[in-house]
Amino acid sequence: MKDIGLIFISIFAAGIVSLLLELSLLREFIYIFGSTAVSNAIIISVFLVGLAFGAYLGTWRKLGVRDENDARRRFAFIQLLSILFIILFFLSKKYFIYHSHHQNLVRFYFIVSVFAPSLLSGLAYAISVKIMHWRGEKYITYIYAFSTLGSVIGGLAHGIVLVPLWGIRSAYICAVLFAGVALYTMYPLMSMMRKFVTAAVVVLAVAAIHLDFADVLFPSESIVFSKDSEFGIVEVWKLNEADARTKHLALGGKDGDFRLDEPPIDLKVNNIHQSYNLPIDRLIHEQWAQTSLGIVNRVSNVLLLGYGSGVTAAAYLSSPMVGKLDIVENCMPVIEAAEMFFPREYELALQSKKSNFIVDDFRGFVRFTKERYDIIALDHSIEDPYAIGFFTLEFFDQLKRITRPGGVVLLLGKGTSWNTTRLSFKHVYRNIDPRINSWLRKGCLYLAQEEFQGVAARDYETVRDGLSAEEPVYSDEEVQQLAEYQEDHGKALD
């Protein structure tokens, strides 16, 4: 019975390895290609195809085993191959994530990287059935249970403990260690020399991952801050002067107005831009706050969804028109990066008696909060795994629920659905104040339930006919040009 116990420990450990790798590889893939229905489907489907093909491969006669001892030796060898795969992938992935400019090559690399460990997992499962074949039918049924339980533990550990607390490297280290456990418990009869060599491979793999040898092979010199979180990897990238000038112009700045008050940086979450420290980007966020306060024109409770650089929060806190500011950020490392690179804004937000930091999921907070606000501001980085899911009728209904009469909801840099806007809000105001930056006028919509008749009414137009035909429409179903949407759904939309 002791021998059977070791076998099931091995199968359990191999199940942990399987899901640790699946979730880690999915996370690496979406860093580049985004977390969309397509990208998630590709990775999960490729992983399942690998499992199925590996299980089928394990039934081939050419891979037949002589006896239980031979099967256990092959199972152990598969775990060794898994360890070698992990270290090879970890040492090479930074080249394909940060350096390669060949999109199809990068996509092929990740598909192969997902297929390979799932193929090994499927093959190991088939061989484990052969191991138990000689012991009786009931033991074969236990294989699935122990393997699945290992996958459950691996998945929970990956999302709740490893990545949030110690980063993605800890997931690979744990995968190596549990593959080692699966190897030794399945085949404890190997010679001392093989045990020594195997132990050396495990130790070297753990050391290479822990010391991040990949960064030595393929250094990312532009990254000055990097930290994992459950919502994605938070990075701060250095910008050279040419890139900074390009960003300045893209944000509506004039070439003659370009200046650098400090070394330029770009704050990103999961490779998605959050904020620059360029003067024009600061100005946009400051004006965003000031304009919304001008619309409401009363002492306001403000909800800021997404902290980013903290410039918007600081602009609100600098105004006597703000009574309370709740800052919801789902990614704690964003706040840590802001503390390092936007220290003035961070100190103001931290020390102000008006501000309240809340680390929570955006949608979850909006859904369950009992607070009501005069101003709710959503930055362009407010995205769920399918990119536009926040901009739906249901989400706007929740925003309406927590918005006080006469209050506004602001959207910076994100288009809204024709249908969603028409159904959820009676009026949409587009900022056309010539004193406000041109990029802000184009990229910001102010949504309200009542027609705007405040002191700044002359600075805004009421958008009653939706967006222009050239602008993309974020519908509850898809993203397309407005003209295409009208053609598909009819000209007369109410």
pLDDT in tens, the chain (494 residues): 458 889 999 999 999 999 999 999 998 998 888 777 788 889 999 999 999 999 998 887 766 777 888 888 999 999 999 999 999 999 999 999 999 989 899 999 999 999 999 999 999 999 998 888 777 777 788 888 999 999 999 999 999 999 988 989 999 999 999 999 999 999 888 888 888 999 999 999 999 999 999 988 898 889 999 998 877 889 999 999 999 999 998 887 888 889 998 999 999 988 888 889 999 889 888 888 888 888 888 999 999 998 889 999 999 999 999 999 999 998 889 999 999 999 999 999 999 999 999 998 888 899 999 999 999 998 766 655 444 556 667 777 888 899 998 888 888 766 566 566 666 667 777 776 666 666 666 677 777 777 777 766 777 777 665 555 565 555 445 555 555 655 655 543 43
pTM for this model (two decimals): 0.80
Give the whole-angstrom CA distance, residue 422 versus residue 466: 8
Which pLDDT value is given to residue 31?
87
Q: Give, in order, the Cα–Cα distances in Å from 41 to each of 321, 386, 406.
A: 47, 12, 43
Which pLDDT value is given to residue 382?
64
How is the chain split into domains, by residue range? Answer: 2-217, 223-276, 279-489
Residue-wise over 98-137: b if at least 16 C-beta within 10 A, else e?
A: beeeeeeebbebbbebbbbbbbbbbbbbbbbbbbbeeeee
Give the whole-angstrom CA distance, residue 289 versus residue 123: 58
Calculate helix-pair angle for 68-94, 168-186, nearest 10 degrees.
160
Domain 279-489: give its CATH superfamily: Vaccinia Virus protein VP39 (3.40.50.150)
For the structural domain made of 2-217, what CATH number should be given? 1.20.1250
